[in-house]
Structure 1
Amino acid sequence: MTPTFVLVHGSFSNSFTWAPLQRELALLGHRSLPVDLPGRGFAASFPVSYQAPQDLAALATAPSSMTGVSYADTVEHLVGVVRQAAEHGPVVLVGHSRGGLALTGAGNAVPELIDRIVYISAWCCVDLTVGEYMQEPEHASSATLGAAAAMAADPATLGALRMNWRTADPELIAAMKTAMHDGPDHEFFAYLNTLEPDESLDAGTERTDAATWGGIPRTYIRLTDDRSMPLALQDRFIKEADALTPDNPTDVRSLVSSHVGFLIHPKEAAGILAGLA
């Protein structure tokens, strides 16, 4: 039967980010379903103060659709999508960046409904939680630490993370570009304008379960030029996963890509996914 690629976006993103890759998959004869996690897509918050001219004081306090959205909400939503997709055939669950957290949760919850799980430079917490990995040496070189200066509100007050992706500050723009994409400026700005300002505070503490998640065939696609998710951290996820389930080793692939480059130029990534189907 024809599989469905269920595509899970990363932080501050939505289903729209997958459109170019979906196009390439369709041209290869494959169907795909991009997911909007809770509070995303057309349910996202875009305050008037985020538009131009910006009102930064108002932006810092405008309500967020992500306030109160928990990790559990995210997993529950994704599991519901997987259940529906599985009614029509095999499911290949694909996640990028923070989307890997939801993949792990779904893999722990409904392993029998997932035929393959694919992490694309994504969080795959095995021995530690996200917060703990962020204190480890492999994460120390992450360029996200510089881009965090674009935060537009106090998370504790807002109840969510809020970034000002539409800033005109050249230093902040340079820091964000370093973290995300090493291609031409026009590509970077086009991508930047697909992002949403808000993200949930709750990344959860769930880790991979050998008895459930561990039985699913898995692939990890390394992005070798990723400066947001350092390659050393990607490789640590792979190593720890293989130690957890030595009888079910990770199928490892590599792409020469920045953190979001494969979304902008998706032909090679689509070819890898099509081969997995």
Structure 2
Amino acid sequence: MKPFRFTALLAAVLLCALVACSDEKTDPAAPPKTFVLVHGAWQAPYAWQLVQQQLVQQGQRVVVVELPGHGADTTPPATLTLDSYRDKVVAAIAAQPGHVILVGHSLGGMVVTAVAERIPDRIDKLVYIGAFLPANGQSLLALASTDSTSQLGAALVPSADQLTLGIRPDRLLPVFIQDGNAAVQKLVTDNYRAEPAIPFTNPVTVTAANFGRVDKYYVHTSQDQAVGLRLQKRMVAAAGITKTYTLPSGHCPFLSLPDQVSAVLLGLAR
């Protein structure tokens, strides 16, 4: 009986090994994810270029949204609202197949929150990077007014008609990218333009039935001079987000630490 038992056991082990090897060979490679990246205030799609390049090199699909009134878009600021931004991102997602990983930075956090409320079934993961994260009925202005460590408010210069907000030239780099090298700091300076003001005052509506069921992640920027870390943590706690990362960066880690941002996003894709 003993030789029989040993032979049977050996055969079972070999069979399992063969099945495992067969499964490994027939498993298809993981399909690429689609990332939809939303920039923040006083910025434009250029801000994502380093991360976009790395994600594409790793076989991922990337869509970078240009918000109205930013970059090359010349929509008059008097006509812009947070809904204008939301609708631009919703349209970008509608043009993609399947689900997306939606990423928002700074003001973009307000936008992606509104998008998640509108089309929760299209979002696989929702990622905030140094971003505003509103509760129901909150505006960016309301959240920013509670930020005791931000240096942004003191640097703002409203236009005469109150339709745009600028930043004092001597404060742009210290507030946004004090930790970046000369090349990325030049990118920020060269691409700077005044920010439409109305969307800052628009509240976001969120519900448990829609926004509440989207899988959420937050990437803290621990040296942030625009959206303070204390405010980031308060917003995360209020939203009940438990999946967080922390980068030792200023407000724009996708420029100062693109490798680390890409690694976080690729980890989520897997």
The answer, yes or no, to whether TM exceeds 0.5 is: yes
Q: Write the mapping of 1:102-251 to structure 2, written as runs, cut at 5 A.
A: 102-126=111-135, 128-136=138-146, 139-148=147-156, 151=157, 153-154=159-160, 157=161, 160-163=163-166, 167=169, 173=170, 175-183=171-179, 186=182, 187-203=184-200, 204-242=202-240, 249-251=241-243
Q: Are the counterparts in 2 of residues 93 and 118 from structure 1 also a CA contact under 8 Å?
A: yes
The one of 87, 90, 96 equivalent to 1:79 is 90
In 2, distance between residues paired with 1:259 and 1:181? 6
Is 1:98 the equivalent of 2:107?
yes
Displacement over 6 Å in runs of 4+: none
Q: Are the counterparts in 1 of residues 107 and 140 from structure 2 also a CA contact under 8 Å?
A: no
Q: Are the counterparts in 2 of residues 68 and 200 from structure 1 also a CA contact under 8 Å?
A: no
TM-score, normalisation: structure 2: 0.81
Shift of residue 200, structure 1, vs aligned partner? 3.8
Compared with structure 1, are the counterparts of its residues 74 and 143 closer, same or farther at alpha carbon in structure 2 (3 Å cutoff)? same
Structure number with greater Rg is: 2
In 2, distance between residues paired with 1:30 and 1:22? 9
Residue in structure 2 matched with residue 89 of structure 1 by the alignment: 98
In 1, distance between residues paired with 2:55 and 2:39? 16
Q: Are the counterparts in 1 of residues 179 and 249 from structure 2 also a CA contact under 8 Å?
A: no
Shift of residue 119, structure 1, vs aligned partner? 0.4
In 1, distance between residues paired with 2:253 and 2:128? 15
In 2, distance between residues paired with 1:126 and 1:26? 33
The DSSP-based 3-state class of the residue aligned with 2:64 is: strand
Residue in structure 2 matched with residue 170 of structure 1 by the alignment: none
CA deviation string 1:54-113 (max 9, x = no partner): xxxxxxxxxx7322211111111211111112xx23200000000011101100001011
Compared with structure 1, are the counterparts of its residues 104 and 274 closer, same or farther at alpha carbon in structure 2 (3 Å cutoff)? same
In 2, distance between residues paired with 1:28 and 1:182? 29
**Structure 2 counterpart of 1:143, which letter?**
Q
The DSSP-based 3-state class of the residue aligned with 1:94 is: strand
The DSSP-based 3-state class of the residue aligned with 1:93 is: strand
CA RMSD in angstroms comes to: 2.0
Residue in structure 1 matched with residue 77 of structure 2 by the alignment: 66
Is 1:10 the equivalent of 2:40?
yes
In 2, distance between residues paired with 1:95 and 1:133? 16
Shift of residue 164, structure 1, vs aligned partner? 5.9
Shift of residue 207, structure 1, vs aligned partner? 4.1
The DSSP-based 3-state class of the residue aligned with 1:210 is: coil
Q: Are the counterparts in 2 of residues 217 and 250 from structure 1 also a CA contact under 8 Å?
A: no
The DSSP-based 3-state class of the residue aligned with 2:77 is: coil
The DSSP-based 3-state class of the residue aligned with 1:238 is: helix
Residue in structure 2 matched with residue 60 of structure 1 by the alignment: none
Q: Which of structures 1 and 2 has the larger relative contact order (alpha carbons within 8 angstroms, sep 6+)?
A: 1
Shift of residue 33, structure 1, vs aligned partner? 0.5
Q: Are the counterparts in 1 of residues 110 and 132 from structure 2 also a CA contact under 8 Å?
A: yes
How many residue pairs were aligned?
A: 236
In 2, distance between residues paired with 1:21 and 1:152? 32
TM-score, normalisation: structure 1: 0.79
Residue in structure 2 matched with residue 245 of structure 1 by the alignment: none
Compared with structure 1, are the counterparts of its residues 213 and 146 closer, same or farther at alpha carbon in structure 2 (3 Å cutoff)? same
Q: Are the counterparts in 1 of residues 39 and 45 from structure 2 also a CA contact under 8 Å?
A: yes
Compared with structure 1, are the counterparts of its residues 15 and 262 closer, same or farther at alpha carbon in structure 2 (3 Å cutoff)? closer
Shift of residue 152, structure 1, vs aligned partner? 5.9
The DSSP-based 3-state class of the residue aligned with 1:42 is: coil
Residue in structure 2 matched with residue 27 of structure 1 by the alignment: 57
In 2, distance between residues paired with 1:2 and 1:183? 32
Q: Structure 2, unaligned stretches of length 5 or more? A: 1-30
In 2, distance between residues paired with 1:161 and 1:6? 26
Q: Percent identity?
A: 25
Q: Are the counterparts in 2 of residues 70 and 202 from structure 1 also a CA contact under 8 Å?
A: yes
In 2, distance between residues paired with 1:40 and 1:72? 15
Q: Structure 1, unaligned stretches of length 5 or more? A: 45-63, 168-172, 243-248
Residue in structure 1 matched with residue 28 of structure 2 by the alignment: none
